[in-house]
Amino acid sequence: MNLRFSSSVIFVKNIERSKAFYCQLLGQKVKHDFGKNVEIHGGFTLWEIRSKHIIPEKLGIDAIETKTFNRFELYFEFDDIETIARELKNAGVEFLHDVHEEPWGQRTIRFFDPDRHLIEVGETLQYFVNRLSKKYRSVSSVSDKTGIPESTIRELINYE
């Protein structure tokens, strides 16, 4: 079998509200817009599913539309976590948590889209490794903290 992954689909209640959230607030770009089905560059699709479709017919419309429906997380990366957190707060976005440093040293935020799908924004690998290299001052210390091999850390912080 030669199965090829195409896209993750996020069921949303209001396609225009969700499209505005992902495109205007999070800066994502639309690849294809078919009205109630919008494909976003990067590999996910927003889909305002109707009750006459087989998925809600089989699962029940409540399983698609409930505000507590939350079975996965979308992950994005951005260097300046404080700036994106501030912009999201100013837009009234509901947070799961504010800026948080994960055990491996990467700073993240988690928040909800308009349909309460969980979204994470984490620092890019290069950004957080460089930030930690300034703090710990040695490749081995950064490797111990992050679990990233020393050779990769050297590449990321441009050690000669």
Q: What is the pLDDT of residue 4?
A: 73
More confident residue, 147 or 64: 147
* Residue 69 C-beta-side C-alpha neighbours within 13 Å: 15
**87 exposure class (CB count in 10 Å sphere: 0-12, 13-18, 19+):** middle
Architecture in CATH of 1-66: Roll (3.10)
pLDDT at 147: 86
pLDDT single digits (tens) 75-124 = 899 999 999 999 999 999 999 899 999 888 999 999 989 988 889 899 99
In this prediction, residue 89 carries a pLDDT of 96
Digit-coded pLDDT (tens) for 24-48:
999 999 999 988 889 999 889 998 8
Question: pLDDT at position 81, please?
Answer: 93
Q: Is 73 helix (H, G, I), strand (E, B) or coil?
A: strand
Per the model's pLDDT, the better-predicted residue between 51 and 17 turns out to be: 17
Q: Of 72, 130, 128, nearest to 101 (Cα)?
A: 128
Averaged pLDDT for residues 153-157: 90
Average pLDDT over the chain, rounded to whole?
A: 85
pLDDT value of residue 160: 43
Each residue of 63-83: pLDDT tens digit?
555 555 555 778 899 999 999
